[in-house]
Amino acid sequence: MLAALINRLQSRNSVLRDGDSLLLTRTEFNREVSRERIRATRRSIPFCIVTIDVAGGRQLQSRRRALIRTLHRNVRLTDQKADLGNNRFAVLLVDTPEMGGRSVLDRLAGLCETRKIDATLSLRVHDPEGFDPDRDVDLPTGGGKRRRDDAPESSWLRVDRSSGDALGLAVQQRPAFSPESTFSPERGRSAEISSRDEDAATPGAAHKVASSVSVTREALLSDRPLAKRLTKRAIDLAGASIGLVLVSPVLVAAAVAVKLTSPGPAFFKQTREGMGGKPFTIYKMRTMVVDAESKQSALRQKSHRDGPAFKIKHDPRVTPIGHLLRKTCIDELPQFINVLRGDMSLVGPRPLPWHESRACNHWQRRRLDVPPGMTCYWQVNKAAAETFDDWMRMDLQYVDRNDLWRDLRLIARTALVPLTGRGGE
């Protein structure tokens, strides 16, 4: 009998080890999410991510094993399951809309409660087409309903439910927003919808499961590895510091030329939208007349660029010295200061002026998932972007496939742009 018990335990442990090996790592999961985002943008099909945080304690290992078995037996073979570390698991539900994700969330929450797994579950839905303006939204505390076109742009929709005391855990883990629609340039717009499952909220509940749903168009669905972010930041600091020292004489000469050829300051400052929609002030050499921005509306019909971006050939607002500064890209060199401050990176999507960036379509704003840069694919090959959408797709190509060697190649290609005089295109 003892031998049979030992064999049974060994067989069980083998199954559990095999189950663990079928789970993706955090890096592998991030790669799958990036791939799915590319497909979602191209095909306009949403997808979902379910995250499960297992509570600690003496029964942690048994809960983890029970959860792994539950995921393997109750999630489609086409979906990706991952162990993200720190007792957090995730499931990527490919080609799954919001209602399908909610169904999976409810089923997994019920299974966790039945199998005595204390956990917090959340659902995040990425919809490249944004929110459906024709659907109604229930407001909390008897506020009735409102149409989704009243819902703010760039918003998160959060529907929190709890069983027992688990609501407190869910609230602690998620920042609270006002149910009313609010806006600030730093945080963007946000809305929250909350409700309680009164029937499940019994004081004597033995197993507590909390779940929440978030629907987003812009927010990151998977964090970039910390080592990768630190490496990129170190290269930015080193490159910007060295670059600023080397080009200082050029900047001084350019500033003197600007002051001598046209009235006004030598440098130009403008508010642009950075990573996550955070505004920042960009620095450039002034290449236009002082009141150039006030004259833009009168020239809007002459813009050769479709979409919200304003581009015009032979712009009458550009000064004579400004044409030279643009062709040689000298006007962009003060942005080394933005890189040192952390507003920008050496490589990344070019930041758009605030009003132009806010006018972009929902799928285009995914370019804000990474820090803006001094150069990117569009900067070195503007002729390939015949339309504004082409430009945005080039930016998204970098967002989904950026790496260190790709950055270094883009920097090398950018060095050739001033030599060919294509900076002012």
CB distance 71 to 55 below 8 Å: no
Name the pLDDT band for 305 (thresholds 50, 70, 90): confident
Token readout for 260 is: 């001598």
pLDDT in tens, 37-47: 878 877 778 89
Q: Which amino acid type is present at position 401?
A: R
Per the rule left: phi > 0, alpha: psi between -120 and 50, beta: everything else, 88 is beta
Pairing of strands 119-126, 182-184: unpaired
Residue 185 has pLDDT above 50, yes or no: no
Is residue 31 exposed (0-12), middle (13-18) or buried (19+ Cβ within 10 Å)? middle
pLDDT in tens, 160-174: 333 333 322 233 333
Which CATH number is 11-216's, of 3.10.20.30, 3.30.70.270, 3.40.50.740, 3.10.25.10?
3.30.70.270
CB distance 108 to 212 below 8 Å: no
Task: Calculate mean pLDDT across residues 342-358.
Answer: 93
Task: Calculate mean pLDDT across residues 229-252.
Answer: 94
Residue 233 has pLDDT above 90, yes or no: yes
Tell which wins on pLDDT, 167 or 95.
95
The CA angle 316-321-325, to the nearest 5 degrees, is 100
**What percent of the chain has a predicted confidence (pLDDT) above 90?**
33
Q: Model's pTM, two decimal places? A: 0.56
Among the listed ranges 6-10, 53-57, 284-288, which one has the minimum average pLDDT value?
6-10
CA distances from 28 to 40, 90, 173 (A): 18, 12, 25
Task: Calculate mean pLDDT across residues 407-412.
Answer: 92
The CA angle 11-12-18, to the nearest 5 degrees, is 90
Residue 187 has pLDDT above 80, yes or no: no
pLDDT in tens, 242-292: 999 999 999 999 999 999 999 999 999 999 999 988 899 999 999 999 888
DSSP state of 164: T
Pairing of strands 136-138, 193-194: unpaired
Q: Mean pLDDT across the chain, nearest whole number?
A: 75
Is residue 174 exposed (0-12), middle (13-18) or buried (19+ Cβ within 10 Å)? middle
Task: Calculate mean pLDDT across residues 397-401.
Answer: 83
Among the listed ranges 52-61, 302-311, 389-398, which one has the minimum average pLDDT value?
302-311
Strand partners, 359: none
CB distance 298 to 310 below 8 Å: no
Indicate the helix (H) or strand (E) that contains 282: strand 279-285
Residue 228 has pLDDT above 70, yes or no: yes
Name the pLDDT band for 1 (thresholds 50, 70, 90): low
- Chain position carrying tokens 């704003």: 365
Task: Calculate mean pLDDT across residues 373-390.
Answer: 89
**What percent of the chain has a predicted confidence (pLDDT) above 70?**
71
Task: Calculate mean pLDDT across residues 341-362.
Answer: 91
**CATH 3.30.70.270 residue ranges for the chain:** 11-216
CA distances from 119 to 51, 66, 356, 391, 406 (A): 10, 12, 43, 43, 40
Q: Rounded CA gap, 207 and 5, in Å?
A: 30
